Amino acid sequence: MVHDNFFLIFGQIVFIIAIALLIILIISLILGVILVKKQKLIFPKMVIFTLDFLYSPLKKLASLLGFDEIMVDQIGVEIRNHINKKEFKEIDNAKKIIVFPHCLRHPKCHAKLEKTGLDCNVCGLCAIGEIKPKAEEMGYKSFIIPGSTFIKKIVENYEFESVLGIACYEDLNMSMMKLSKFKPQGVLLSRTGCYNTEVDVQTVLKKIGYINEKTNTKNSGCSKDNLNNPSKNL
Ligand code: SF4
């Protein structure tokens, strides 16, 4: 009898937890969809918490409800961009890194792969060659990596306080999730795939503070001396 009661109570507790999780998942998904469609940020930290701890169930739920699973990553990237934006701007550029995906390079790229990524010689054939010198002029350290294992090497070998990543939604969300203590910002590839991908150069230059977000003009403060705090110019 005691035995039966134990299993009854245990079953009820499991059922209540499952229902509570389902409710949290549904609420988070609804709030995420509102963010993506209407650009309204409601309880962002709760949505990020759900994304971090219930990522796979959230993707399954999205798929069951007829949404594209990638939307879950889109929600993650947009919320993280929003909640980290201010702190990212305030961090000294010399303490920031920019990480390019290796798929962005031109098919004729001759850059060699080194310990922490491609050694780009800025030949000008791809967007990396356009962004990298400007970002470095501002103080950023840049990396072009073939996969997420290189992120681990960068974290182990370099000191930095913040990161801007460029990738497809899924890679971007996962990387921003892993690097959440670095107040990450992300820019989505405009053409995804395994090679010859594309990114909107202007969007990246705005994110790093090279171009003014509001006026679309080059920041007047883009000289070596006063680039370290682009937030003054934005
Ligand atoms: S700019 Fe750099 S990454 Fe792009 S193709 Fe040239 S060497 Fe390769």
Q: Are 93 and 197 in contact (CB under 8 A)?
A: no
φ, ψ of residue 40 to 5 degrees: the values are -110, 125
Measured from the CB, is residue 126 less than 6 Å from ligand 1?
yes
Distance CA 123, CA 106 (A): 10
CA-closest candidate to residue 199, choices 120, 108, 129:
129
What is the residue extent of each domain of the chain? 2-67, 91-233
Buried b vs exposed e over 168-191: b needs ≥16 C-beta within 10 Å? bbbbbbbbbbebeebbbbbbbbee
Q: Which residue among 102, 121, 128 has the greatest number of ligand 1 atoms within 8 angstroms of its CB, and so is best to mutate? A: 128
Q: Are 205 and 186 in contact (CB under 8 A)?
A: no
Instruction: State the DSSP code for 221.
Output: T
Residue of the CA atom closest to atom 3 of ligand 1: 105
Measured from the CB, is residue 164 less than 6 Å from ligand 1?
no
* pLDDT for residue 220 is more than 70: no
Atom of ligand 1 nearest to the CA of 100: 3
- In the numeric block, which tokens belong to residue 3? 């035995």
User: pLDDT tens for residues 120-169?
Assistant: 999 999 999 999 999 999 999 999 999 878 898 899 999 999 999 999 99
Residue 13 host element (H or E): helix 2-38
What is the whole-number distance in angstroms between the Cα of residue 99 and the centre of ligand 1? 14
- In the numeric block, which tokens belong to residue 6? 């134990």
* pLDDT for residue 98 is more than 50: yes
Atom of ligand 1 nearest to the CA of 121: 7
Distance CA 211, CA 173 (A): 25
What is the whole-number distance in angstroms between the Cα of residue 156 and the centre of ligand 1? 25
For residues 199 and 222, the model is more confident at: 199
Binned at pLDDT 50, 70 and 90, residue 2 comes out as low
Atom of ligand 1 nearest to the CA of 118: 3
Mean pLDDT of 23-37: 85
Binned at pLDDT 50, 70 and 90, residue 29 comes out as confident
Q: Are 230 and 138 in contact (CB under 8 A)?
A: yes
- Structure confidence at residue 161 (pLDDT): 97
Work out the number of other CB atoms within 10 angstroms of the CB of residue 125: 14
Residue of the CA atom closest to atom 1 of ligand 1: 129
